[in-house]
Structure 1
Amino acid sequence: MLFNSLDYFLFLALAVLGFWLLARHRVARLAFVVVASCLFYMAANPRYIFLILGSTLVDYLVGLQLGRTENQRARRGLLLVSLVSNLGLLALFKYFDFWSGALTSFYASLTGEPHTPFLLRWALPVGISFYTFQTMSYSI
């Protein structure tokens, strides 16, 4: 959904109206904003909503556990879970095809045999870097 499209302005009008109508219901208003945000994100590619939800869930659960424990070793381990899961997803989407191609070319130059790289050819999810670092900021 492009920001200069009619779809966007209709969506924005409905989102603002829903937000305004739920002004007295804090929890319902928050739930509405979350659902509207997910719907907006899914307009680009519905399959990638699981990335945001998974990343958010991991960091939310890590944040809860960080609040419950005083053990520094456990806290470091929890932080590591957050960092590895989030940065791992980011690296997978941004760099897998690059490194697969580079390593395949390197291997082919060593052996003299042509090899076709294994490429995922996944489209980069919209805003993956932004929301990755935003969710990590919750647990950091």
Structure 2
Amino acid sequence: LSDYVQFEPDYAGAARKNFLNRLSVISVPARKPMAYGLFAIEAMACGVPFIEPDCGVFSELARHGGGAAYAQNNPVHLAEMLRDVLSDQARLAQLRRCARETAETIFDIDHTAAQMAARFQTVIGQSHRDN
């Protein structure tokens, strides 16, 4: 198992970036939907695509590109998707490019902050109209 699985005792700062840069893909199977997959976005920023369950935030992330979604709670489908992506170098290269591009454009901090500010303004505007 140690040939295929690596446990990282340090996952902060530079160690996290070094770890992510060594990956071909990242997959952290989740049984329940997640609201925000920060680890997937961090990996995408390093050009590492994700393979995650088709639920919660991962469904949205997969639609943007840079990763793929498998049938939730289906380890056979996960294994097939990992095999398919890792054995197709052209597809893997495309996912890597798309992961980085998606992280830099859609999940860029300035873009995300502008979206949040716009939503706050909408809520504030609705609140003033309701009063």
Calculate the TM-score normalised by the size of structure 2.
0.31
Larger helix share, 1 or 2: 1
